[in-house]
Structure 1
Amino acid sequence: MPDTPPEGFATPALTVDRDVLERNIGRMARYAATGGFALRPHAKTHKCPQIAELQLAAGAVGLTVATIGEAEVFAATGARDLFIAYPLWLDEGKRDRVAALAANVRLSAGVDSAESAQRLIGTGALAVIEVDSGHHRTGVQPAEAGTVAKAVRSLGLDVEGVFTFPGHGMAHDPDATPTQVRLHAARDQEKALAEAADSLRAAGFEPNVVSGGSTPTAALREDGVISELRPGVYVFNDAMQVALGSCTIEDVALSAVATVVSVPAPDRFVLDAGSKTLGADVNGWARGYGLVPGYPGAMITQLSEHHAVVTLPLDTRSPRLGDRVTVIPNHVCNAVNLADELLVVRDGRVVDRWPVAARGANA
């Protein structure tokens, strides 16, 4: 992240430090190579074909996506192996879209019931059984993976393996440290996936993939269970990851650049970047609505659609009207989905503009 916000463009805008981005991608790729597991990054974070190309060139086996729409964007821009990492409920239109995708790329999709799997029949998509490892969103209990796999196979579908999302690795726990929360989720993930893989084998399946996910738990993986990881946020990182300790500020590649439009008091200034730029995510681990690294101790205490109110500690110099200020969003995925393009910066200068091609591809 540059020390001084770059100039030469209108604010608010999202900027990406190309050097930090490439360093993040390379670090995770080396971790996968030395750890002996496949890397399938979650593209819902960046929604950008140029970044997907960098990840694939660094050794990723394919991409994870959140929706059929995201899969369509990345298939159209060159990705050949895609995993939709959620259970789908296909109507006729969505079924036709999945079939069209599977005719051109290797496509797999999450399944946690025979009923939803039935709607995949004839599309050509492979099924991956989702198990709940503690996040309590989607997924069957690990011991039930084999039973679901048999039901899916009885429909004539191929079962690839099992996957989970340890999203509780970001949950706030007042009785634990962030590292303890991340470690607990990582161990939950491994236990659940090991049990699910054993359940598949007992049902007569040899899983080709045992897939885990999430940036906060990625570095805490233990050998022996997981054959694939699906982190997403690591390419950019954000204020949440800094607060969780899964990265440092030096590892943050994406930031919002905003202009000071009002200084109503010595301890307060207002930026032209609100929830429609930064997103509105809050979490117990991160203070306020984003991180303002140029003003230590500052906190975004109020967020409206187009403005952010930043409160300063006592005896801290306030910026002047017209100054540019860098803000690290709490949750980078939401911030990116609000932007039309990412301004690529190197040595403090904008060198490229990358469209957020999958922005709004939510169906």
Structure 2
Amino acid sequence: MVDTHTQVAGPDLALDHLPTPYLVVDHDVLSANITRLHRHLAGAGLAVRPHVKTHKVLEIAALQVAAGARGLTLATVGEAEVFADSGYADLFIAYPLWVDEGRAQRLRQLAGTARIAIGVDSVEAAERLTGLLDPRVELMVEVDSGHHRTGCRPGEAGAVAAAARAGGLSVRGVFSFPGHSYAPDAAAGVAAQEEEALRVAAESLRAVGVLPEVISGGSTPSAAEMGAGVLTEARPGVYVVNDAQQWELGRCAREDVALTAYGRVVSSRPGRVVLDTGSKVLGGDRAGYATGYGRLLDHPEARIVQLSEHHAVVDLPEGLHRPPLGALLRVVPNHVCVAVNLVDHLRVVQRGHPPRTWSVAARGAHT
């Protein structure tokens, strides 16, 4: 998704008075990202159920729903509670939850206000949920499409669904997460691999008399490669703001990055500056393919080569004028989901509007 659009400006100086570091969302870029990917997926015949663990922000979810999102994907019951309390009524926790009595009660309360589904990936887990889970809570069977994290083998999905059905529980369909799409040049192959895995899984459900209403998959790197046929639903998350990983993989352009950390130069020497945007605001993730711990939005060739709790050491390309002490720079985190969960608020800038603040409403909702 690299065919863009707007000119990259510099840091918004209306925020210059704020103590750094802080995270800033460019509303115009955010809106363009939502519109572009939702239109693409709708044109491919897929419903969109964005994963809101990326941003955890009610206002961003509202923009996604206004752009046609069918519902929301979440990582935890806590996240689901936050969004259900704000009126979001179709929620899928895409995770094989461990449901104890306390969590069962929380899911029961959620089912009273929203359509709710959770993940399950084994016969043992499905049988355990019998008599524990409110029958209004639906199940989605997770299959492993090659990421090798959670999920049963595609051909075993029917047995999981049959065990759930035997216990009086409702099975909505099957899903996968193609996390191995986060690798250079992997997206197209991984999307095809996921499609085949979900085709086998759906047939496995049909073979035991369970009709899959939803066949769900996708990730931000693979979203552009998805199409209807087998899948009915896509669950991208990072696309809404993008990050250095997506930029590095070529799944977005610099102009598509909507969230940055504003930081100041606190130390300087030839060829290098140090910013106050350490791991406690950027997060510490660095994938094997990443060329640094983050990037500078306005200086694409610069790289963060060393990251401490409160320091980001930036190597500058030859010929670049060295920013002076106190200069305000925009840093693109490697993994935006982690960065957002480290702050209470996002600053929002938008052409023609004064800066405003959005709360990271589901921050810390990990249970």
The corresponding residue for 2:151 is 139
Normalised by the size of structure 1, how large is the TM-score? 0.95
The corresponding residue for 1:245 is 250
The corresponding residue for 1:107 is 116
The corresponding residue for 2:275 is 271
Q: Which amino acid aligns with 1:125?
A: V
Q: Which amino acid aligns with 1:101?
A: L
How many residue pairs get aligned? The number is: 355
- How far residue 314 of structure 1 moved from its aligned partner, in angstroms, is 2.9
CA contact (8 A) 1:337 1:356 kept: yes
CA contact (8 A) 2:123 2:159 kept: no
Deviations 1:102-123 (A, max 9, x none): 1110000001123323335335
Q: 2:17 aligns with which of 8, 20, 42?
A: 8
Tell me the secondary structure at the aligned position of residue 356 of structure 2.
strand
Deviations 1:289-309 (A, max 9, x none): 001132242111111111101
Q: Are 1:259 and 2:237 counterparts?
A: no
Question: Using the alignment, how far apart are the partners of 1:2 and 1:69 within structure 2?
Answer: 36
Question: Using the alignment, how far apart are the partners of 1:50 and 1:298 within structure 2?
Answer: 32
Q: Are 1:124 and 2:136 counterparts?
A: yes
CA contact (8 A) 1:121 1:155 kept: no
Tell me the secondary structure at the aligned position of residue 290 of structure 2.
coil
Tell me the secondary structure at the aligned position of residue 78 of structure 1.
coil
> Which piece of structure 1 moves more, 73-82 or 285-294?
285-294
| Superposed counterparts of 1:157-196, under 5 Å | 157-171=169-183, 178-179=184-185, 181-196=186-201
Q: Are 1:213 and 2:218 counterparts?
A: yes
Q: Which amino acid aligns with 1:261?
A: V
- How far residue 206 of structure 1 moved from its aligned partner, in angstroms, is 1.1
CA contact (8 A) 1:2 1:348 kept: no
Q: Which amino acid aligns with 2:159?
A: T
Tell me the secondary structure at the aligned position of residue 215 of structure 1.
coil
Q: Which amino acid aligns with 1:53?
A: A
CA contact (8 A) 1:270 1:308 kept: yes
The corresponding residue for 1:225 is 230
Tell me the secondary structure at the aligned position of residue 72 of structure 1.
helix
Q: Which amino acid aligns with 2:216?
A: S
Tell me the secondary structure at the aligned position of residue 346 of structure 2.
strand
CA contact (8 A) 1:121 1:156 kept: no
| RMSD, aligned α-carbons | 1.4
Tell me the secondary structure at the aligned position of residue 98 of structure 2.
coil
Question: Using the alignment, how far apart are the partners of 1:338 and 1:67 within structure 2?
Answer: 17
The unaligned stretches of length 5 or more in structure 2 are 1-6
Q: Are 1:285 and 2:294 counterparts?
A: no
Q: 1:344 aligns with which of 328, 341, 348?
A: 348
The corresponding residue for 1:97 is 106
CA contact (8 A) 2:79 2:362 kept: yes
The corresponding residue for 1:325 is 329
Deviations 1:265-285 (A, max 9, x none): 211111011001011110133
Q: Which amino acid aligns with 2:236?
A: P
Q: Which amino acid aligns with 1:272?
A: D
Tell me the secondary structure at the aligned position of residue 255 of structure 1.
strand
Q: Which amino acid aligns with 1:170?
A: Y
- How far residue 78 of structure 1 moved from its aligned partner, in angstroms, is 1.4
The unaligned stretches of length 5 or more in structure 1 are 172-177
Question: Using the alignment, how far apart are the partners of 2:135 and 2:229 within structure 1?
Answer: 33
CA contact (8 A) 1:215 1:231 kept: yes
* Structure 1 pair 37–208 and aligned structure 2 pair: CA distance change class (3 A): same
Q: Which amino acid aligns with 1:69?
A: G
- How far residue 53 of structure 1 moved from its aligned partner, in angstroms, is 0.7
Q: Which amino acid aligns with 2:201?
A: A
CA contact (8 A) 2:21 2:281 kept: yes
Question: Using the alignment, how far apart are the partners of 2:275 and 2:251 within structure 1?
Answer: 28
CA contact (8 A) 2:91 2:116 kept: yes
Question: Using the alignment, how far apart are the partners of 1:191 and 1:337 within structure 2?
Answer: 34
Tell me the secondary structure at the aligned position of residue 93 of structure 1.
helix
Deviations 1:26-79 (A, max 9, x none): 112212322221110000001000001111111111000000000000001110
- How far residue 2 of structure 1 moved from its aligned partner, in angstroms, is 4.7
Question: Using the alignment, how far apart are the partners of 1:26 and 1:293 within structure 2?
Answer: 22
Deviations 1:218-271 (A, max 9, x none): 0001331110000000000011001111111111111111011111x2111110
Question: Using the alignment, how far apart are the partners of 1:66 and 1:296 within structure 2?
Answer: 32
CA contact (8 A) 2:135 2:168 kept: no
